[in-house]
Structure 1
Amino acid sequence: MPTIEARIARLEAESQIRQLIARYCFTIDDRDIAAIRDLFAPDAVLKSADGVMNATGVDAIMAQYDGRFDALGPGHHFMHDVQLDFVGDGSQHATGRVIGHAELWRNGQMMVTAIRYDDTYRNTDAGWKFAERTIAFLYYVPIDKYPNILSTPLRNHAYAEPKPADFPERLPTWIAYEKSRGRG
């Protein structure tokens, strides 16, 4: 059984990572560029499941955010559930999945999106940072399309033409289940 010190260290690490995730939401919504930069390890990767976003290193990540912010007006990010798994003794590395949603102004209209982040965290001299963050969307739609959006796989309306959602239909577990039920 782990020592009380190791258990406390694990709880402190979890708290620090949860704070990192919360700071991400506030700094993105506030366009606090210096604080956004500080969230990522120097060699971090930020990408999207659809491949539109793909940056390595803090400078490239910040340039990518400049492009995102050019397309977005005000927004409000909400994170709902966080699943953390520590690697090894948990003192240096962890992985996580975060689900949430955002309300955004994009393309001249109010939009809402359901988000899933797949993260890797690293403990640095400056505390826990994102080492890798991949964003995926269940949907990204104008508010008026929201009521029926789950009836179609074409749920990403962030671009000129609707695209398939990143999940769940592409997940191996979803595909296997649907096949087991004679669908798909």
Structure 2
Amino acid sequence: MDDALLKRIDRLESRNEILELIAKYCKSCDDRDVPLLRSIFTEDAVVVSQDGMMEGIGRDGIMEMYRKRFEVLAISVHWTHDNIITFDENDPDRATGECFCHAESHRNGQTLVGSLRYDDEYRRTNGVWQFSKRTLKFLYYVPVEEYGEALGSKKRMRAYGDQRVSDYPETFECYNNWARHYEGA
């Protein structure tokens, strides 16, 4: 086989392995499968949320962050929808991605619903794809009884006892300026 074909095969296999990695994240969080969760992060990985409520530096720091979350979470369910994966042209063992997700959870006696995106960095080490960075960005994270009203507000972050402006889409240039593409049409 020529090098170009081998590269294409590697990309296809890697894409499937990264999609499985993303599914393992959901499974490990919802099942509280701590060994599985630990296995999907590189030793030097970072997990943060754009709103600053989550921060885990290094695998041990990430595991401590999730321990604290699991202590207050009852049941949770995460499901991912679409994934955009981009491979590094200069390094076949690195990729980035954007993962679209919904989540439901019960925390401190309150049922919450959320919609978020993960900005990911993936790294293949010893033939295994893992997360090297995961940044959570929330469209909304609200008590279920506030869901309808929250969608009509910029303050869609309501899971922590206050109301905060959401991470997106209002921060996206394209969201704020879409109409200019139709001017004069």
Normalising by the residue count of structure 2, what TM-score does the alignment of the two structures yield? 0.91
Q: What's 2:154 paired with? A: 153
CA distance in 1, matches of 2:154, 2:181: 20
Paired residues in the alignment total 181
Alpha carbon RMSD of aligned pairs, Å?
2.0
Corresponding residue SS for 1:3: helix
1:43 equivalent to 2:44? Answer yes
CA offsets 1:32-68 (integer angstroms, 9 cap, x no match): 1111000100000000011121221000000111111
Counterpart AA for 1:66: R
Query: Which structure 1 segments of 5+ residues have no match?
Result: none
Change (3 A) 1:3 1:152: same
Counterpart AA for 2:159: A
Q: Residues 46 and 56 of structure 1 are in contact (CA less than 8 Å); yes or no, is this contact kept in structure 2? A: yes
Q: What's 2:65 paired with? A: 64
How do residues 103-182 of structure 1 correspond to structure 2 at under 5 angstroms?
103-125=104-126, 127-177=128-178
CA distance in 2, matches of 1:172, 1:62: 35
CA distance in 1, matches of 2:142, 2:8: 42
CA distance in 1, matches of 2:169, 2:96: 20
How far 1:145 sits from its partner (Å)?
A: 1.3
How far 1:142 sits from its partner (Å)?
A: 1.4
Counterpart AA for 1:64: M
CA distance in 1, matches of 2:75, 2:179: 38
Percent identity of paired positions between Structure 1 and Structure 2 = 40
Counterpart AA for 2:140: Y
Query: Which structure 2 segments of 5+ residues have no match?
Result: none
CA offsets 1:81-121 (integer angstroms, 9 cap, x no match): 00000002552100000001011002312111001000000
CA distance in 1, matches of 2:149, 2:179: 21
Change (3 A) 1:161 1:102: same
- Misfit runs of 4+, over 3 Å: 175-181
Q: What's 1:23 paired with? A: 24
CA distance in 2, matches of 1:116, 1:151: 19
